[in-house]
Structure 1
């Protein structure tokens, strides 16, 4: 995706993760663009906050092997919008969270 397009920024440890696929399906259902970067990071909350600050849409999502964190740039660094434990989380719930990240941008109620 081109860097100048407003998009939800997503940072992942593994681009091929099933978790990330489901989250992006939810974002796609809402018609919001996203940009995925595969990189190593130490603190998932800080990474989600950092990329929300870098996103022109003010939303960042970080996903590691245990959690997904959705952050909004106007929130405090230690208070992300959603923290999801991936252990046993159903795929449909991941899709809903992806949709909700996009709905934040659209200004419509969460699912």
Structure 2
């Protein structure tokens, strides 16, 4: 092993950034990974999608955990979402969620719980109540603007209060995370 001057011996320069590894069964849309990542990133832990060859969600999650520097993996396959941890037996995942409806909620819950394993917070087992928000642009095309109206670069809430709803939802998530971490 060659040493580089200025590089500590315990720091590998060619290693990837630590992240929860997420495996999707073949044929699943990447949107499932995105929802797992949302749940994990709400807790402050990044995710990375990994390729899988198996269709068994427990095996996918265990393989993902084995490849993660955090030792935590998530799998989404069929109607099941699984969270696995490196030190558990391969056939015994930490959490197995059988999805009935609102797949995004289960993916988000699994991502959040995977992150909670890493940051050592209690796991959650209740689904979030709020639906995912759609962010819509409040800008009109330039042809519809009158000279007295502000330019499209100025964002203003529309008459339905879409921006206010979005801000409320984000504020609720941030306040919950700060409260759980004892910062609020």
The alignment covers a number of residue pairs equal to 109
Partner of 2:16: 4
Query: Where in structure 2 are the equivalents of 1:7-18 lying within 5 Å?
Result: 7-13=19-25, 14-17=28-31
Once superposed, what is the RMSD of the aligned Cα atoms? 2.1
| Greater relative contact order (Cα < 8 A, sep 6+) | 1
The structure in which a higher percent of residues are strand is 1
TM-score (structure 1 length as normaliser): 0.83
Q: Unmatched 5+ residue regions in structure 2?
A: 1-13, 125-184
Query: Where in structure 2 are the equivalents of 1:45-56 lying within 5 Å?
Result: 45-56=58-69
Partners of 2:97 and 2:106 within 8 A in 1: no
Partners of 1:48 and 1:60 within 8 A in 2: yes
Q: Unmatched 5+ residue regions in structure 1?
A: none
Partner of 1:76: 89
User: How far off is 1:82 after superposition?
Assistant: 0.8
Partners of 1:15 and 1:36 within 8 A in 2: no
Structure 2 distance, partners of 1:87, 1:23, is 17
User: Are residues 1:36 and 2:32 paired?
Assistant: no
Task: Tell me which structure has the larger Cα radius of gyration.
Answer: 2
Partners of 2:74 and 2:110 within 8 A in 1: no
Moved over 6 A (4+): none
Judged with a 3 Å threshold, the aligned counterparts in structure 2 of structure 1 residues 66 and 93 are, in CA distance, closer, same or farther, namely closer
Query: Where in structure 2 are the equivalents of 1:48-67 lying within 5 Å?
Result: 48-67=61-80
Partner of 2:109: 96
User: How far off is 1:90 after superposition?
Assistant: 5.7
User: How far off is 1:38 after superposition?
Assistant: 4.4
Judged with a 3 Å threshold, the aligned counterparts in structure 2 of structure 1 residues 11 and 31 are, in CA distance, closer, same or farther, namely same
